[in-house]
Amino acid sequence: MLADSALVGQLGTETLAGMSIAATLITTVVGLMNFLAYSVTPAVARAFGAHRLAHAYRIGVDGVWVALGLGLLIAVWVISLPILRCAAWARTTQPSAMRATTCTIRCGAFRP
């Protein structure tokens, strides 16, 4: 994050503000998705320890489906940001920090 801030800071304060807001949002979403790891892993371990392999497998598959569903919802939301932004532009002008935030979120979401 420090290297990103140093590089983006060279582009100007509005771009740096946009990157900061986007980084906060992305970090929050990633942190909130940790519930999958903290809920599925012990449930699978308990079922595996009780020698209920079919149940452990089903819990793992359910966790994958939940992760896939949430990932698709977030992807649709990220992709729809430009559409919502265009609708907002029809009513009012948008500050450049918000434009930079939207760009950073979209680019960061698809970065490996």
Contact between 54 and 62 under an 8 Å Cβ cutoff? The reply is no
Closest alpha carbon to 17 in 75, 82, 102, 108: 102
Q: What is the pTM of this model?
A: 0.59
Closest alpha carbon to 107 in 8, 3, 6: 8
Q: Per-residue pLDDT tens for 11-25?
A: 777 777 777 777 888
- b/e map of 29-43 (b: 16 or more CB within 10 Å)? eeeeeeeeeeebeee
Q: Per-residue pLDDT tens for 61-107?
A: 999 999 999 889 888 877 776 666 655 555 555 556 566 666 656 55
